[in-house]
Amino acid sequence: MTGLKKVKTAVFISGRGSNLNNLIKFSKTKKSPIIIDLVISDKKAFGLKYADQYKIKKKIISFKSIKIAEKKCLIILKKRNIELICLAGFMRILSKNFIKKFKGIIINIHPSYLPKYKGLNTSLRALKNNEKFSGCTVHYVSSKLDSGKVILQKKVRITKNETEISLDRKIIKEEHKLYPAAISKILY
């Protein structure tokens, strides 16, 4: 990144929003290449409280009709000149058409060491398969689920007596380091 202009970013969420909160905090640091301008959620998610807390514009868009939802998203993204979308626990799959029409970059964070464990319940499935490690991955978004090019990933060791809760807790901690690092990696 050159000069002082920070990349205008939208964060898409569906739930708790701990990554959103973490990205907002990161965006407030001097070294951050992004400014968070918009939060989009497909429902009344808990994480929207962080948008309120930091006075960031928020928009709830129902995804009952994906076509209409994506159209609405594209309009607001364009209006606000958004250049980067960070998916952060956004539990919808964006269409090929949306990805093509949005002229900026779209990235996602996923709670597994991809290409292992795409989709949901990643920690539970890793535990059931007696894996030695899981992890998290930040990747570019393509129209295939959890399959775009990897930007950064981090392994997390699975210990004896590990539970889904304890593993999720370890992974989310790593996610909070990995997402800002991946953003810096692609924008600087």
Binding site for ligand GAR (CB under 6 A): 13, 15-19, 47, 88-89, 109-111, 172, 175
Q: Which of 110, 139, 170, 176 is catalytic?
A: 110
Residue nearest to ligand GAR (CB): 89
Angle CA(60)–CA(119)–CA(128) in degrees, nearest 5? 135
CA neighbor of 94 nearest in space, from 47, 41, 142: 142
Sign of CA dihedral 170, 175, 177, 181: positive
The smaller minimum CB distance to ligand GAR, of residues 61 and 172, is found at 172
Report the nearest approach of ligand GAR to the CB of residue 158 (Å).
16
Report the nearest approach of ligand GAR to the CB of residue 4 (Å).
28
Report the nearest approach of ligand GAR to the CB of residue 68 (Å).
22
The smaller minimum CB distance to ligand GAR, of residues 93 and 160, is found at 93
The smaller minimum CB distance to ligand GAR, of residues 48 and 82, is found at 48
176 is an active site residue:
no
Report the nearest approach of ligand GAR to the CB of residue 137 (Å).
9
The smaller minimum CB distance to ligand GAR, of residues 47 and 180, is found at 47
- Active-site residue set: 110
